[in-house]
Amino acid sequence: MLMLACKAAKPVVTPNTAVVATNNSNHDIKPEWLDIAKDMDGSATMEHLATGKTIYYETCTKCHGWKDARKYDPVAWERVLQAMIPRAKLTPDEAHHLRLYTLVFQKS
Ligand code: HEC
């Protein structure tokens, strides 16, 4: 009886991925990320990466929790973006910056 009560009282810990993600400094844009971005788009700037990051953490979490791009290979991620960019109603520029940030983030 006593043992059963103890077992039931154990708290269930559900990690909040969004909080973990935003507190994780691995997600911060590092100066060397610009070199990786420039390999994909020669006109990429730190501002483009920052815009992409904001969209990824704010607009892309409106309908569901934060999704880790690193869990997808680039082909699968492109399929996700093709489906999600229209859902998020991004402009072509916003879509470009989001793609750039997430592709660099995948390599981090
Ligand atoms: C208008 C709501 C909405 C917005 C905004 C949205 N999503 Fe989604 N997303 C969904 C729904 C609904 C699903 C689950 C059903 C599905 O996969 O079609 C989903 C699923 C996903 C998945 C899982 C797909 C899989 O099959 O593994 C990823 C990753 C994802 N979204 C990323 C994003 C990204 C990145 C953005 C920002 C560009 C975004 N979402 C914006 C509604 C949204």
pLDDT for 60 equals 98
Residue owning tokens 């690193």: 70
pLDDT for 17 equals 47
Task: Please say whether the beta carbons of 59 and 88 come within 8 A.
Answer: yes
Cα of 35 vs centre of ligand 1, distance in Å, is 28
Residue 21 Cβ inside 6 Å of ligand 1? The answer reads no
pLDDT for 57 equals 96
Q: Pick from 88, 95, 89, 86: which is nearest to 52 by CA?
A: 95
pLDDT for 32 equals 93
pLDDT for 108 equals 83
Q: Pick from 4, 16, 103: which is nearest to 56 by CA?
A: 103
* 10-residue stretch averages of pLDDT, the chain, 108 residues long: 53 46 66 94 96 97 96 96 98 98 93
* C-alpha span between 49 and 46 (Å, rounded): 5
Q: What count of other Cβ atoms lies within 10 Å of the Cβ of residue 97?
A: 26
* C-alpha span between 76 and 35 (Å, rounded): 24
Task: Please say whether the beta carbons of 56 and 97 come within 8 A.
Answer: no
pLDDT for 28 equals 85
Which residue of 53, 55, 78, 80 sits with most ligand 1 atoms within 8 Å of its CB, as the best mutation to test the pocket? 80
Task: Please say whether the beta carbons of 17 and 88 come within 8 A.
Answer: no
pLDDT for 27 equals 77
